[in-house]
Chain A
Amino acid sequence: MSDDTVSLVLFSGTDDKLQAASVLAVGAAAMGRKVNIFLQYWALDAFRVDRVLKDHGVSAEAGEAGLRAMQAQGKTHWSELFAQAKDLGEVQIQACADSMEMFEITKDDLDPMVDGIWGVASFFMEAEGPVTFI
């Protein structure tokens, strides 16, 4: 069984994609994988400390029926699943420095579960194997 690092780039800031990503992260951590998460663009925006628990909408393909199905399932919120992933294993969440500049925000604007700020080269220093872009 492989113990390779799981590298996730989160780009989308809608709740459905963040939810899916959080399930991947917590599952990987539970199975003993190291997980590196890199937050860019709208995903980074969703990790702002004052916005984490806000409604971030869902992807266009969800539609009304998809949104209702997702809400009816009553999953644990993605922020809680990322926190559980960090508690379970070696999981780091890093903010993209370039996206930080775009939003003109600092580390203090982000939820404390974000470990730090990385340039893209730092991310690839840690990313062994394939990168999943969500």
Chain B
Amino acid sequence: MTTAEVTRSIDARGMACPGPLMTLIGAIREGQVGDVIEVLSSDEGSKSDIPAWVQKAQHEMVEVLDEDGFARFVIRKAR
């Protein structure tokens, strides 16, 4: 279960690298500080890339969940 309330959910399953990350970056830019964005991605690269970018861009990784055939990332826009 996700503890944070999701502001926006993005289904990026089926997108090739770096599509899911780029979509997340776009959503973060459009959002407000405190927004919680959920990204679903089946791209293997996302598993390392999304946490790496979130750390570098100084947002907060709320959780990463392995689902059946994809991963669910929940990110809070921190700045």
> Which residues in A have some Cβ–Cβ distance to B below 8 Å?
1, 23, 26-27, 30-32, 73-76, 81, 84, 88
Contact = CB atoms under 8 A, between A and B. Distances in A.
Given A30-B25, A88-B25, A1 B18 contact: no
B16 interface: yes
B51 interface: no
Contact of B56 (A26, A32, A88): A32
B21 interface: yes
Report whether over half of chain B's contact residues are helix, strand or loop; otherwise say mixed: helix
5 contacts: A1-B56, A27-B18, A30-B53, A75-B19, A88-B25
Nearest to B53: A30
A87 B59 CA distance: 19
Interface of B: 16-19, 21-22, 25, 49, 52-53, 56-57
Contacts of A74: 16
Given A73-B16, A74-B16, A75-B16, A26 B22 contact: yes
A30 B52 CA distance: 10
B17 A23 contact: yes
Given A26-B22, A32-B57, A88-B25, 5 more contacts: A23-B18, A27-B49, A30-B25, A32-B56, A81-B18
A75 B18 CA distance: 9
Nearest to A84: B22
Contacts of A32: 56-57
Contact of A31 (B17, B19, B52): B52
Contacts of A1: 56
Contacts of B57: 32
A23 B21 CA distance: 11
